[in-house]
Amino acid sequence: MNRLINYFSKAVATVGLIAISTTVSMASGLLSAKGSNTDLEIQDHKVNVSIDDGYAITTVENTFYNPSANKLEAVYEFPVPKDGTVVEFTVWINDKPVIGEVVEKERAKQLYQQEKAAGRTAGLTEKKSFYRFESSVSPVLPQKTTRTRLVYMQAVETEGGIGRYVYPLEEGGTDQEKLDFWQTDEKVHGSFSFDLNLRSGFPVDAVRAPAHPHAMVSNSDANNWNVSINKTGVANAAANTKEVTGEISVDPSTVDQAERNAVFSDLNEQDQHSAASNNTLNQDLVIYWRLQPNLPGAIELVTHKEAGARRGTFMLTVTPGIDLQPIKEGRDWVFVLDQSGSMGGKYQTLMDATGQALSKLRSNDRFKVLLFSNHITQVTKGWTSADKLSVDEVSNALSRTQVQGGTNLYQGLQAAINGLDSDRTSSIVLITDGVANLGKTEKKDFLDLMTQHDVRLFTAIMGNGANRPLLDSMTKVSQGFATSISNSDDIIGVMIGAIEKVKYEALHDINLSIKGLKTSDLVPTQPTTLYRGQQMVMFGHYFGDEEAEVVLNAKVSGEAKQYRSTFSFPKESTENPEIERLWAYAQIQELKNKADYLGTSTEDYRSAIVETAVEYGLVTDFTSMLVMSDEQFEKNGIARNNQTRRTTEKAAKSVRQKSAVKSNRVDQKAPAFSGNQTNYTKSPTSGGGGSGAINPLSLIMLLPLMFAWFRQRRRVVNKAS
């Protein structure tokens, strides 16, 4: 039996920007010695994150140590965040870093085994599931260390003016049998360091790492921020550095000092309480940043085009203004909550979050609450008015329930849909890890269920191991949205955020077109609905450098709206070569989504996926990243394309970091939106609903609403006087 030697675990903070603590059994960074009971160690674990121009590059360097007298093969498992793609696996061979090349999966495995049998140093990174990867290195010599480097990239968006980055250090806690198999050790045997550099074209007024009280946040200005954490929780002091606990910035013009002090006294007390139980590195690292209020709605453009090249690649981000008005008529809400055993450790937080979310509904709203496991439990008797008495009664009932049984997700959704009133606007809020193991479990069954009914599905996807492909697909076909959260995330903030979006008008029947400039290979498929606080990101290719007109047509409450702007695509642009990989990843995801929608196997698109992945250096279901000596690469006829690409990307990154931060907004001269950017910091207060007690966990997410309420109250008092 292979023994788990090193273990990093568990989840941290939240969309509500505050951390809670639960117990999880398994972590990322699972290191085992294949075919041996010998203990391997992760001696050092170094993480560097660069967030710039709308995407993040995460670099993870590990040093493995073999204390035994035998040569061993190290197997290292790790999760990659949603929309993350592995682009580099490097192994130091004879003290020289050798970057891996992407090869068709079966061939890569064969060549790795061949190198291993010959006793030559080799490495292999494979995709094992939709979120989990595995790296193998052989040999790890006795009494010696082996050094590796992993790099993955992902697009990073902001929701309601708040950005979020997660470095996953947990498996997800959804396979208890597997978790119980391993012996675990939470110690960091050497050094652990985490360093994140955020460069934002829009000014940022606050950055937080709430679950790590000794993390240090520094900024040279509103566009450049850094977060540093090491294994002892002590970071090097720097100019303008503040300990992150309880630290958050507020525009002084929005609320007076007394109001801020009243709010932050409770907030700081909660942060200190959280800090007392979170001194070890056994949690996801979650970093939040908040854009300054009153930013304009905007169109942003990031491109890559080599000198003299006919074709370039672009990433277009559309952020609507706040001309989406509050919806005044009452809505129906069905909360569908996972009660199965896999929700253990986060279940009571979920119940508390539901009570908090119910208290934010309007007085003319109605709601139902369903629990699902092996069977359905109706917590409410039919539709219930969202008054304080009813909300308190349901909240108390939820607090008395416990986890039980398996996960019949299909039955839970079917029960929610069957009870809808066709005469009222309805939304379903689903919170689950999505690991359906009872009843119908095929993705096609769920997609058919959602497409047969006119209902919006909003999903909080729990844990890194959650079934994201299933849940993302369901929310997409229902024109809803999904949010991935860690096991210890503050579900309260997620649910309140979902409700706040749906309280406002949305852009429906969206169609974005680019005129005057030839474009192709646009991905992903445009959403049909864009909610308040959401961004729309599109990748594609462009030809030439003519001026382009971007037109967004949509309907708001049945009325046709059009937003347009005119700007040029550059003839040459070499600062962001990573955009090519992000386009390729989006293209591969589009092929997989097409297979899901048609109910066919991804194998039908195997050749297209392999061709794209090999060209752009991506680890996929059908390709792996192989490391051998340069001589063996040459002998086996494998071109060093990924090595060349990484050299180009590193050089471009170095140039960006030495340059001043620039805005990627391209519609300044011809603004597409008349209103300010959607930002909850300045959202108008919502009416109605019960006013239940506010849990400190939700204070951060609720701050904008509280400040708006303070200002409204002052206006009323002044008017009366």
Would you put residue 53 in left (φ > 0), alpha (ψ -120 to 50) or beta?
left
Q: Residue 680 class from Cβ within 10 Å (0-12 exposed, 13-18 middle, 19+ buried)? A: buried
Residue in the structure block whose two tokens are 């061949």: 114
Q: What is the pLDDT of residues 183-198, one digit of tens each?
A: 333 344 667 889 999 9
Contact 303, 571 (CB under 8 A): no
Residue by residue, what is the 3-state secondary structure of 659-710?
Answer: CCCCCCECCCCCCCCCCEECCHHHCCCCCCCCCCCCCHHHHHHHHHHHHHHH
Tokens of 367: 């709601």
pLDDT of residue 154: 93
pLDDT of residue 611: 94
Residue 523 DSSP one-character state? E
In angstroms, the CA 200 to CA 208 distance is 15
Contact 79, 172 (CB under 8 A): yes
Q: Distance from CA of residue 408 to its chain's centroid?
A: 26
User: Buried b / exposed e across 564-578, counting CB within 10 Å, b at 16+?
Assistant: bbbbebeeebbbbbb
Contact 208, 286 (CB under 8 A): no
The CATH code for residues 332-503 is 3.40.50.410
Instruction: Give the CA distances from residue 76 to residues 31, 65, 127, 481, in Å, rounded to whole numbers and listed in that order.
Output: 5, 13, 12, 33
**Interhelix angle 606-616/641-658, nearest 10 degrees:** 50
> Tell me, what amino acid is at 655?
V
pLDDT of residue 32: 60
In angstroms, the CA 360 to CA 496 distance is 7
CB neighbour list of residue 704: distance below 8 Å, 6 or more residues apart: 680, 681, 682, 683
In angstroms, the CA 585 to CA 537 distance is 13
Instruction: Give the CA distances from residue 47 to residues 58, 230, 350, 637, in Å, rounded to whole numbers and listed in that order.
Output: 7, 10, 31, 33
Q: Distance from CA of residue 216 to its chain's centroid?
A: 22
| Strand ordering across the sheet containing 27-33 | 6-9, 27-33, 72-79, 132-140, 122-127, 623-627, 101-104
Residue 463 DSSP one-character state? S
pLDDT of residue 495: 64
Contact 443, 471 (CB under 8 A): no
Q: Residue 331 class from Cβ within 10 Å (0-12 exposed, 13-18 middle, 19+ buried)? A: buried
Q: Which parts of the chain sit beneath pLDDT 70?
A: 1-39, 130-131, 170-190, 211, 231-283, 322-323, 342, 345-346, 422, 433-437, 439-445, 448-449, 451-455, 460-472, 475, 477-500, 596-601, 675-721
Tokens of 75: 């197997």
Residue closest to 293 by CA, chosen among 246, 248, 251: 251
Tokens of 162: 């708040």
In angstroms, the CA 684 to CA 413 distance is 32
Contact 426, 455 (CB under 8 A): yes
Residue by residue, what is the 3-state secondary structure of 317-346?
Answer: EEECECCCCECCCCCEEEEEEECCHHHCCC
In angstroms, the CA 256 to CA 286 distance is 30
- The mean predicted confidence, pLDDT, of the chain is 74
pLDDT of residue 122: 95
CA terminus-to-terminus distance, the chain: 77
> Tell me, what amino acid is at 276?
A
pLDDT of residue 72: 87
Q: Distance from CA of residue 435 to its chain's centroid?
A: 19
Q: Residue 376 class from Cβ within 10 Å (0-12 exposed, 13-18 middle, 19+ buried)? A: middle
Tokens of 187: 């110690």
Three-class DSSP category at 311: strand
In angstroms, the CA 492 to CA 191 distance is 34
Domain definitions of the chain by residue range = 332-503
Q: Which H or E run includes 28?
A: strand 27-33
pTM listed for this prediction? 0.75
What does the CA dihedral 106, 111, 113, 118 come to, rounded to 10 degrees?
170
